[in-house]
Structure 1
Amino acid sequence: MMNSFGATSTADNVLAGINLGGKRVLVTGVSAGLGVETARALVTHGAHVVGAARDLAKAERATSAIRAQAANGGRLELVQLDLASLASVRACADALNADGRPFDAVIANAGVMRTPFGHTAEGFETQFGTNHLGHFMLVNRIAALMAPGGRLVNVASSGHRYADVDLDDPNFERTPYDPMIAYGRSKTANILFAVEFDRRHTARGVRATAVHPGGIRTELGRHMAPDELDRLVAQINAQLAADGQPPFQWKTVPQGAATSFWASFVAPAENVAGRYCENCQVAEIAEGPLSPVSPGVRPYALDPQRAKALWARSEEMVGERF
C-alpha cells in the first residue's frame, strides 16, 4: 500500500475502494484549485465536508457542481474564513466549536504565494500571516474537535527550500522583502507546525503531517507574471537537461490533491506523522544542491527544536497560548 501510488496518481486513484461515509473533514480554501478538487473527491466518496473560504459567493459558484452531484451520502457545507484576519479565524473556530461535531481530518489547504509586500489585518507579513498564523490559530482553537485517529494535513510546498523561518524578523521589518523568501518561510512554517502539533497530540491518537502537492497551474500563481513563470520553467528545464533528466511536467489538479488523501486516509499514521510527504510517499531528507523540482525536504523544516520555537513565537504573535 505504501508504494502503490506516485507522482501521476490522482485523488480518485488514491481513494479507489475507500468509503468515507460517516467521516467529517474540514478543508480550507474551497473556492478554487486544489481546495475544490479536495472537496469534490471527499464528497464523492461519502464524506461530510465543511469547506472554508474567504469569499463565500466565489466558493458557492466553484462548488455548485459538487453539491448538485453529491452521492453516497456525501455532502458539502460552507463556512466563512479569512485567514488574513484573526478576528475571522476566531469567529470561524467559535462557530465550529459551538456546533460541536468532531472532525476526522483537517486539510489546511488555503494559502497565498509570492504576494507583493503587505500585511494581514493584525499587521503580520501577508504570506506568513495567512499561510501559517491563520491556520495555526484555527487548528489549535478547534483541536478538541479532532477525533482520536484523526489527522491534520498541512499543505506545504517544495518552496520551503527557499527559506527557513525567521523568528527574529517574521514580518520583514529589518530584512529586505523578497516574495519567494517570504513564501518559503511560510511553507517551512507549515511543516514545522505539523511536526510540533503531532508531538503534542500523539498521546490522544491525533497525528499531523505536511504535504507537497507538486507543481500545478492554479490561482495560487496569480501574482506571477505569465512570462515570469515561463522563464522559471525554462530555467528548470535547462538544469534538468544538463543533469540528463527529462523536462518538467506540470501536475493536473487531481494529481496535486492525491498526496493529501494518501496522507489523510491511506498511509499508516505512524509512517507519515511528523513527516513531509510528496508524490504519495514520505520524502527523504535532502541536503546540498537541489534542482527546483527534485524531491526531498530540508532538515530545518523537520527540526523538532525549531518546531517548538516556532510554536512559542506564533503564540506570542497571535496573543494566545495553546
Structure 2
Amino acid sequence: MSGQFGATSTTDEVLAGLDLSGQRVLVTGVSAGLGVETARALAAHGAHVVGAARDLAKAEAATEEVRAQAAHGGRLELVELDLASLASVRACAEALVAKGEAFDVIIANAGVMAAPFGHTADGFETQFGTNHLGHFVLINRLAPLLKAGARVVALSSAGHRYSNVDLDDPNFERTEYHPFGAYGRSKTANALFAVGFDQRHRDRGVRATAVHPGGIHTELGRHMTQEAMDALVEELNRNAPAGEPGFQWKTIPQGAATTVWAGFVAPADAVGGRYCEDCHVAPVKDGDFTVRDGVRPYAVDPAHAAALWARSEEMVGETF
C-alpha cells in the first residue's frame, strides 16, 4: 500500500502530481516545524490551508514561505487558537462553524513535549490538556464541517510507548510526574482519539487516523537538553536488534510526509482507525519504548478508546 514511500520520503515526494485545488484543510500549530512544512506542502499543491496558532505574529513570520510557494490557487489564512485554554478552543471552533465553510481534512499537529509539570488554563496537566483535550474539543466541535469523505489526522508519536493513559489520575494528582511519562500519556490519547473518532464518523465516510512523524529536531524539543537527547538516542541504539541500523533523525520535510500521506494519498479504509509511521500502517507490537517501530496494543484498542472518550467528555464538560 505504501508503494514507493517510506521513512526518507518527503512531503513533496508524497504529494508529487497531486492537485489539491478546491480542498480546504485545517492545520494546527503553524508557527514552527512540522505545522509550517505541512501547510507549505499543501498550499503549494493548491489547497486552501487554515492555519491555527496561539501566537499569530509568530505564525505570520513563520509562514512567509507558505504564501510564497502557494500555487494553483492555494492559499493560507491564519486563525488564533490556544489549545491550553478551552475558552480559546471554543471561540476558534465557534468562529469557524459560524463561517460555515467545510473542511476536507483536519490535521491535529500542534503540541508540547516533555514539559515541566504545570496546568492549562482549565487546570488540566499541561501535556494531556494541550495535546489531547484541546484537540478533542476543537475537532468534535468542527465535526459538522467535515465533508463526506473527509479525514482527520492526529499527530501521535513513538512517545506513546512510554506510557498508557491513566484515566483515574489524568492530572497527576496522586502519581509522580515524569515529563516523558506525561508526554507518552498524551500521545497515547491522540492515537486513541483517532480510533474513537473514526468509530463515530466512518458511517458517513469520515475517517480518522493517527501518525508518528519520526524523530525530528523542532521547537517541540525545547524542554529537552542536548544531553537528554543524546542519552535517549544512545539507549535506542543500545537496545536495537542486531543488524539494524542506528537511529536516524528525520528532516522536517521527511517528518511531515506521513501526515500528508495519511491525509491525502493512502486509501481511507486502510488508514482509518489505524496508527501510521514512515508512510505505512504500523504493525501492532508489544514492548517498551526501545522497540523502535510499531504501535502498542493499548493505543489502538477500541474499548480503551471508548473509555478515554467518556473520561474526556467528563473532564471538558461536553458530550460529543
**TM tier, smaller:** over 0.9
Letter in 2 for 1:318: V
Q: Secondary structure at the match of 2:117?
A: coil
Q: CA RMSD in A?
A: 1.1
Tell me the distance in 2 between the aligned counterparts of 1:172 and 1:104: 37
Letter in 2 for 1:255: Q
Contact kept, 8 Å, 2:50 with 2:76, in 1: the verdict is: yes
* Distance verdict in 2 for CA 1:312–1:73, change over 3 Å: same
Residue equivalent to 2:283: 284
Residue equivalent to 2:297: 299
Letter in 1 for 2:284: I
Quote the offset at 1:71 in angstroms: 1.6
Tell me the distance in 2 between the aligned counterparts of 1:77 and 1:318: 28
Tell me the distance in 2 between the aligned counterparts of 1:4 and 1:68: 29
Q: Secondary structure at the match of 2:150?
A: strand
Within a 5 Å distance, the mapping from 1:20-59 to structure 2 comes to: 20-59=20-59
Q: Map Cα deviations across residues 38-93 of structure 1 (whole Å, 9 max, x no partner).
A: 00000000000000000000000000122133221100000000000000000000
Contact kept, 8 Å, 2:159 with 2:289, in 1: the verdict is: no
Letter in 1 for 2:242: D
Tell me the distance in 1 between the aligned counterparts of 2:305 and 2:207: 15
Tell me the distance in 2 between the aligned counterparts of 1:274 and 1:70: 31
Q: Secondary structure at the match of 1:50?
A: strand
Residue equivalent to 1:236: 236
What is the aligned length?
Answer: 320
Within a 5 Å distance, the mapping from 1:65-144 to structure 2 comes to: 65-144=65-144
Poorly superposed stretches of 4+, deviation over 6 Å: none
Tell me the distance in 2 between the aligned counterparts of 1:234 and 1:162: 16
Residue equivalent to 2:270: 271
Letter in 2 for 1:238: R
* Distance verdict in 2 for CA 1:274–1:141, change over 3 Å: same
Quote the offset at 1:289 in angstroms: 5.1
Q: Map Cα deviations across residues 105-134 of structure 1 (whole Å, 9 max, x no partner).
A: 000000000000000000000000000000
Residue equivalent to 1:194: 194
Contact kept, 8 Å, 2:12 with 2:41, in 1: the verdict is: yes
Quote the offset at 1:235 in angstroms: 2.4
Q: Secondary structure at the match of 1:40?
A: helix
Q: Secondary structure at the match of 1:8?
A: coil
Letter in 1 for 2:310: A
Residue equivalent to 1:2: 2
Residue equivalent to 2:162: 162
Structure 1: which 5+ runs fail to align?
Answer: none
Residue equivalent to 1:262: 261
Letter in 1 for 2:68: A
Tell me the distance in 2 between the aligned counterparts of 1:303 and 1:238: 30
Q: Map Cα deviations across residues 132-174 of structure 1 (whole Å, 9 max, x no partner).
A: 0000000000100000000000000010011111000000000
Q: Secondary structure at the match of 1:112?
A: coil
Contact kept, 8 Å, 2:161 with 2:289, in 1: the verdict is: no
Tell me the distance in 1 between the aligned counterparts of 2:66 and 2:295: 34
Tell me the distance in 2 between the aligned counterparts of 1:189 and 1:83: 15
Alignment of 1:249 with 2:236, yes or no, is: no
Letter in 2 for 1:127: Q
Alignment identity in percent? Answer: 71
Residue equivalent to 2:310: 312
Residue equivalent to 2:219: 219
Letter in 2 for 1:53: A
Letter in 2 for 1:139: I
Quote the offset at 1:230 in angstroms: 1.5
Contact kept, 8 Å, 2:40 with 2:69, in 1: the verdict is: no
Letter in 1 for 2:296: R
Letter in 2 for 1:299: P
Residue equivalent to 1:174: 174
Letter in 1 for 2:59: A
TM-score, normalised by the number of residues in structure 1: 0.97
Tell me the distance in 1 between the aligned counterparts of 2:277 and 2:87: 33
Tell me the distance in 2 between the aligned counterparts of 1:188 and 1:37: 24
Tell me the distance in 2 between the aligned counterparts of 1:16 and 1:41: 10
Structure 2: which 5+ runs fail to align?
Answer: none
Letter in 2 for 1:49: V
Tell me the distance in 2 between the aligned counterparts of 1:85 and 1:51: 18
TM-score, normalised by the number of residues in structure 2: 0.98
Tell me the distance in 1 between the aligned counterparts of 2:88 and 2:212: 27
Tell me the distance in 1 between the aligned counterparts of 2:307 and 2:171: 16
